[in-house]
Structure formats: C-alpha cells, structure tokens
Structure 1
Amino acid sequence: MEAQSRYNPDPHAHPGLHAIAVFEAAKGVIALLAAAGLAWAGPTALQHTLDGVAVKLHLNPSHGPVASLLRGINPESLGVAIAVTLAYALMRFVEAWGLWRAKAWGSWLGCIGAAIYLPFELYALVAHPGWLEAGVLAVNLLVVWVLGRDLAKRRR
C-alpha cells in the first residue's frame, strides 16, 4: 500500500503523450547533431559541399540563388544558424519533458507547434502530391488531434 501512495500517476498521462514526447525528443537530438555538424564542418567545408551539390544538380554555383547562398555562408552566419538550431533543440526537449510529465503547457506547446506547420504541409501536398507529403501531413494531424483531445479532456 505504501508504494501505491507514493506513485500517483497523472490521470492525463497516456501513451499518446509519451509517444509524442519521444518523437519530439528525437527531433531535439537530430537538431543537436545538425548543430554539431555545422560547427564541426565550418563555413569553408560547408561552402565546398554545397558547391558540389549544386554542380551535381546541374545548378550554376556562380550565378543566381546558389551563388547568393554560397556567399552568405561565413563564420557569423554559421554561428547564427548553430544558435537557432540549438534553440530549436532546447524547445523540442522542453516540449518533450512537458509531454512526458503530462503538463498542460506541454500539450499547448506541442499542439500549437504542430498546427503551425499544417498550412505549409497542405500546400506541399497540393503542389507536389506524394506519399511523403501525405504521410507528414497525416502524422502532424495525428499529433494535433491527440494533443487537442488531451487539452479538451483537461477542460472537463
């Protein structure tokens, strides 16, 4: 009986919240890896890699948007990109912690964060219909539905 009184699970905690929390934490880990990769590579290696990708895609790295992108890669802009990526990772980890602990603010953060992408995903599906676009939209709709349902249950 003693162990039961110490363990009082949150009535809002359910597998859907935990699954989304793991998904968000995974996105945070990927963002950390991306930031580390950017920091490790540095601007020169990044420019060289993008130049090679442009050539393979038959884009002219000397003119147009590719040239502008390559010119924009410098230590300062790379530092900003790393900082933004780290902030994104921190936000994903905070959201994951809130969802894992079944906090209402975690559900709000996740629901709003996922819903923001829906118009862009709908546009992508209409502009370039395919399984990937449909799958991304379906997963995001599922996340919004699960978190919205959690928030509605909390209001009752």
Structure 2
Amino acid sequence: MEAQSQYNPDPHAHPGLHAIAVFEAAKGLVALLAAVGLVWAGPAVLQHALDGLAAKLHLNPSHGPVASLLRGINPESIGIAVAVTLAYALMRFVEAWGLWQAKAWGSWLGCIGAAVYLPFELYALIRRPGWLEVAVLTINLLVVWILGRDLAKRRR
C-alpha cells in the first residue's frame, strides 16, 4: 500500500507560492548570516571598518554623524541589532513555510509584508531612478500581485 503524502496543497493556491517561498527563505538565510556576522565581528571590528570608510570618504570621524555612529556602536546596540535581525529571519522562515505549505495565512503575511515596502520603493524610484530601483519595485509588485491573486482565488 502506498503511503499518503502529508502535503495536500490547496487546489486554489497560486503556483507561484513555491517560488516566493524559496525567495523568502533565502532572505531569512541572509538575515541569519547577518546576525551571525554581527555577533562574530563585534563592536570593535565594526568601528574599525567605519573608521576606514570615513577615511576613504574624507569624513571627519571626530564630530558629526560619523562620530555619532561610532559612539552608537557598542555591545548593547550590537545585541539589539542581532535580536531584530533574528526576529526578521524568523518571520521570513515562518512566511516561507506557510507559503510552501500553501497556507492562506502565509499568503496574507507575505502580501502585507511585501506591500509595506511599496511606498518606500516608489519614493526611492522617484528620488533616484535607475534599473535597480525599477527591478526591486517590479519584483515586489509581482509578489503582491501573486499573493493577492492567491487570496482572491481562495475566497471564491
């Protein structure tokens, strides 16, 4: 007797859900690697890198925004940045799992999460038009459209 598959996708789910799930999981992995990098590097390495960047850009690290940023890099701020980055990674992994399993809540989470960025992407495109801004906006609009269409199909 053949074993039944545990995966029973919603017949109304959009076929692009798996592609978006892989994309979201990749973003979660990048965030996870960033958190590990922050822990590994620590404040001293980040401060040294910022000093080097300020020197290359001919900025004065003794006062102004660079000095403020340098003072803000400390173990506590690194811990906060790591916690926020890990929360972001977890959210992306949960969303990816929900989309992979064709769960409606996964489509809701993805649609809302992608739509939140649209005003910022439009602003970036208006301020500094370029191929990268167009590509990011286009991909995000496509994600919102696919997930919105998936949710609409589920309602019927």
Using the size of structure 1 for normalisation, the TM-score is 0.94
> For residues 13 and 152 of structure 2, what CA distance do their matches in structure 1 show?
14
Aligned to 2:35: 35
Match of 1:6 among 4, 7, 10: 4
Structure 1 stretch displaced more, 14-23 or 127-136? 14-23
Unaligned runs of 5+ in 1: none
What value does the CA root-mean-square deviation take over the aligned residues? 1.4
The number of aligned residues is 154
Partner Cα separation in structure 1 for residue 11 and residue 72 of structure 2 = 50
Q: Which runs of 5+ in 2 are unaligned?
A: none
Q: Give the distance between the partners of 1:12 and 1:55, measured in 2 at CA.
A: 56
- What stretches of structure 1 move > 4 A for 4+ residues in a row? none
Distance in 2 separating the partners of 1:25 and 1:42: 26
Counterpart code for 1:116: V
The letter for the 2-side match of 1:153 is K
Q: Which has the higher helix share?
A: 1
Does structure 1 retain, via aligned residues, the 8 Å contact 2:98–2:106? yes
Query: Which has the larger displacement, 64-73 or 121-130?
Result: 64-73
CA distance in 2 between partners of 1:93 and 1:49 (Å): 30
Q: Distance in 1 between matches of 2:58 and 2:103?
A: 49
Describe the SS at the equivalent of 1:93. Answer: helix
What secondary structure sits across from 2:91 in the alignment? helix
Matched, 1:136 2:126: no
Instruction: Write the distance in 1 (CA, Å) between the matches of 2:13 and 2:68.
Output: 48
- Tell me, what secondary structure is at the counterpart of 1:6? coil
TM-superposed deviation, 1:74: 0.4
Q: Indicate yes or no: 2:85 matched with 1:85.
A: yes
Contact 1:13/1:101 (8 A) holds in 2: no
